[in-house]
Chains A and B, each alone.
Chain A
């Protein structure tokens, strides 16, 4: 993977003063950006002129002045505590600590807290709205309340919360005992994994703990897979769309899971062949894969739609999965090829000297070594498919086949009414599996995606 440095040893670094234009370039870019933002602000401001103040929103006159004053005061307090911290730190460690470093860290904390507040508060608000039967995403604020946060409607009223929205999602859902038992097992396994993650944090890693974790993970996967495969539309007798929400989650998990497995099956052999086998046409095939990767399947959506209608596969999961499979191959093959190239070739050579065929080498040597990258390929495909919308929206027309995204859209852009309370509850439940996967496999996911992004 590492490039061999090509420069001669005799080549010495000679300092060249960059030209005037090159020096000025960053400043020109900044000036252009400022100008663009200024023009945009001017037009945005112009579009705001003459608009009535909304009667649904409580205004605090000059609230921004108070906010700035608050920030200033907070910075002042931090400046004082930093001074204290610097003195105490210097006295305790005996090393020289600069004041600006301590203050910088303190101000960074303040800034990051504000960013977290702005970025995460919407999620918290939706989470609370999920438990609020009064449709609080679209409610008047409580103007008579003396507390400013209730008066503006920023803080939700906690005393009215109930499970009503969630009950609507489970109306008329018949879950047999064995499914409940499986769900219980999955829940227990998840809890156990969570506890083990906390134990792992404290640093007491051991072989036994690892083995238990592997087993719990396997049990969890089997339980969820059985649940997803054997849950059917017959169990959902409710007449409303929202009572079929759980079915849509099951549909999405089924489609995403099978697409993920298909991605592994199709891309591992291809990636291995391109990385290791030398045959005429290898480079051309790779170029072809790269070329194909430029065209997401959904660009040809009319043709995909027509093709699936012709094959009688519209409104089926098979059709949707097949449509996804075309898009799953090129990128994952590229990733797996890169991974195999990073493995030492000597292992495979040793196996072949011992009489193993190419195929046996691939199955018995390479695949067991590629657990991490296979997990990444599966997860990446799974999460990507879970969030895919355009093909699912075109191909799946019946309520019983809908995926989560389409189901949610029917709540918010419904023909007769928008059900924001139900939407919030459904969004919370629908996002949970992916959030859990994301945080559970953070290491695999972040590393793979970022390096994949670099290679893409």
Chain B
């Protein structure tokens, strides 16, 4: 970095950005203000729109926000001309903030709550009760309190007087919920904080199943059941990712070295054919393998029958199911490793082999002393990124075995072939997990940290940070 001839004039509209950390911070601050302002404007305008047109879709906030950003761009550029460099990055940063950063922040947030199918932040429709409202629209009288002894228990208030809690009111149709804040509770009578002015005939009421913070309870649950879920699933995830990369790499290396033989006629035909498993979308081919690996009718067992071998319970036995996952992932993954080997081999100087053969080295010696050591450099990052990819390779597990088959002494969401990610998915979205979104978020948080550790090692080895610093 050369020294700037004269110090940049702040205050004046300079084309030169402020130097160093200060410049970064100012730029980030400006971007954050723009983004925050756009979100605020979007929120206000969409709220207004919802008042006027109640049917207006909730995503209007996005449209208003983007419009506000577009209007802000030229104004900010007038004030800070040097921001133009950041404008190249702006679309990417906005999308990352909205659809990557925000979900991650929300995930961290949910991990400490009790968010699930019941506590979803919606009115409880199962515990609805009759209600009447007084003439001054201040006092609501409940008909009864289902499944609880008092209004306090029914509404699950934190204070004895229920001040600040929320009551949900309906008309006779019970179609649209209206929320009202509570000032105090006396017997079955609930006094509202403000008169309920909405023009409906109040006939029913219910509580709000609010999402509340429960501290580390989700993590405690995970670690309390660690021997039934976390530990075996984690071990299998690591074993799966490690062995599938190893097996694929060995197969790819062997095939790649065999196909890189110039004397082999028709090697392009072999290459084109062996390419096919890579070309077919995995989402289709994995499901195909479910049929092919069927114990009674699958072609694989029919083929083994021809060889006089017993019918293997590929997907029905906990251990064999693990083998099946590895076999199918080998079928899916070897073409990539083969191609990587071939393109890495083509960068090796031919003279080395020539010199070696003049010195009398056999083909095997050439492979073990020239090819493999030189391949090590280009293979390390491929193997590491393969490990990181397979660590979260949800698709093959879910589509091939759905995590099954069942295994003794395991949670219903963490069966014999479940990896960490599919365990989290089952917890949130499968029938066995009962939509426990907060527990799934806690699991996701654990996966975040593991993925982070793997990726840091990965990038360190691949020299990504060095390339970034240039």
Q: Is the C-beta of B59 less than 8 angstroms from some C-beta in chain A?
A: yes
Q: Is the C-beta of B82 less than 8 angstroms from some C-beta in chain A?
A: yes
Min CB gap B278→A, angstroms = 7
**Cβ < 8 Å to B, chain A residues 302-345:** 302-307, 310-313, 318, 322-323, 325-327, 329-330, 333, 338
> How extensive is the interface on chain B, given as a class?
35 or more
Q: Is the C-beta of B176 less than 8 angstroms from some C-beta in chain A?
A: no
For residue B70, which residues in chain A have a CB less than 8 angstroms away from its CB?
Answer: none
For residue A453, which residues in chain B have a CB less than 8 angstroms away from its CB?
Answer: 336, 340, 381-382, 385
For residue A44, which residues in chain B have a CB less than 8 angstroms away from its CB?
Answer: 319-320, 323
Q: Which chain B residue shows the least CB distance to A430?
A: B284
Q: Which chain B residue shows the least CB distance to A138?
A: B297
**Cβ < 8 Å to A, chain B residues 429-470:** 429, 437, 440-441, 444, 447-448, 451-452, 455, 459, 462, 464-465, 467-469
Out of B58, B91, B261, name the residue touching A270 (CB < 8 Å): B91
Q: Is the C-beta of B157 less than 8 angstroms from some C-beta in chain A?
A: no
Q: Which chain B residue shows the least CB distance to A454?
A: B381
Q: Are B469 and A283 in contact (CB under 8 A)?
A: yes
Out of B270, B284, B296, B319, name the residue touching A54 (CB < 8 Å): B296
CA distance A405 to B287 in the complex (A): 9
For residue A299, which residues in chain B have a CB less than 8 angstroms away from its CB?
Answer: 107, 392, 421, 444, 447-448, 451
Contacts A57-B301, A292-B96, A326-B99 given: A122-B258 contact, CB under 8 Å? no
Contacts A152-B302, A329-B95, A389-B283 given: A303-B441 contact, CB under 8 Å? yes
Q: Are A423 and B469 in contact (CB under 8 A)?
A: no
For residue A59, which residues in chain B have a CB less than 8 angstroms away from its CB?
Answer: 305, 308
Q: Are B28 and A295 in contact (CB under 8 A)?
A: no
Min CB gap B105→A, angstroms = 8
CA distance A230 to B296 in the complex (A): 44
CA distance A122 to B255 in the complex (A): 19
For residue B289, which residues in chain A have a CB less than 8 angstroms away from its CB?
Answer: 122
Q: Are A269 and B91 in contact (CB under 8 A)?
A: yes
Q: Is the C-beta of A14 less than 8 angstroms from some C-beta in chain B?
A: no
Q: Is the C-beta of B135 less than 8 angstroms from some C-beta in chain A?
A: no
Contacts A44-B323, A57-B305 given: A297-B99 contact, CB under 8 Å? yes
Q: Are B306 and A152 in contact (CB under 8 A)?
A: yes
Min CB gap B302→A, angstroms = 5
Out of B283, B388, B424, B469, name the residue touching A404 (CB < 8 Å): B283
Contacts A427-B288, A431-B281 given: A51-B274 contact, CB under 8 Å? no
Min CB gap A102→B, angstroms = 9
Contacts A44-B323, A279-B86, A281-B28 given: A386-B281 contact, CB under 8 Å? yes
Segment at the interface with B among A17-25, A112-120, A218-226, A368-376: A112-120
Min CB gap B292→A, angstroms = 5
**Cβ < 8 Å to A, chain B residues 271-311:** 272-285, 287-292, 294-297, 299-303, 305-311
Out of B255, B284, B441, B468, name the residue touching A302 (CB < 8 Å): B441
Q: Is the C-beta of A446 less than 8 angstroms from some C-beta in chain B?
A: yes
Q: Is the C-beta of A408 less than 8 angstroms from some C-beta in chain B?
A: yes
Give B373-386 as 1s and 0s: 1 = Cβ < 8 Å from A's Cβ atoms: 00000100110010
Q: Which of B299, B309, B343 has the most CB of A within 10 A?
A: B299
Q: Is the C-beta of B103 less than 8 angstroms from some C-beta in chain A?
A: yes
> How extensive is the interface on chain A, given as a class?
35 or more
Q: Is the C-beta of A15 less than 8 angstroms from some C-beta in chain B?
A: no
**Cβ < 8 Å to A, chain B residues 42-70:** 57-59, 61-62
Min CB gap A452→B, angstroms = 9
CA distance A156 to B227 in the complex (A): 47
Q: Are A125 and B425 in contact (CB under 8 A)?
A: no
Q: Is the C-beta of A378 less than 8 angstroms from some C-beta in chain B?
A: no
Q: Is the C-beta of B395 less than 8 angstroms from some C-beta in chain A?
A: yes
Q: Is the C-beta of A261 less than 8 angstroms from some C-beta in chain B?
A: no
For residue B464, which residues in chain A have a CB less than 8 angstroms away from its CB?
Answer: 290, 455
Min CB gap B46→A, angstroms = 10
Contacts A326-B99, A387-B283, A455-B462 given: A265-B91 contact, CB under 8 Å? yes
Besides A125-B299, A126-B292, A318-B59, 7 other A-B contacts (C-beta < 8 A):
A123-B288, A269-B88, A269-B89, A280-B24, A290-B468, A300-B100, A450-B340
Interface, chain B (partner A; CB < 8 A): 17-24, 27-28, 57-59, 61-62, 82, 84-86, 88-89, 91-93, 95-96, 98-107, 110, 115, 255, 258-259, 261, 263-264, 266, 270, 272-285, 287-292, 294-297, 299-303, 305-313, 317, 319-320, 323, 331, 334, 336, 339-340, 343, 363, 378, 381-382, 385, 388, 392, 394-395, 398-399, 402, 421, 424-425, 428-429, 437, 440-441, 444, 447-448, 451-452, 455, 459, 462, 464-465, 467-469
> Which 6 A-B pairs have CB atoms at the shortest separation, nearest pair first?
A326-B99, A280-B23, A273-B88, A63-B308, A303-B106, A405-B283
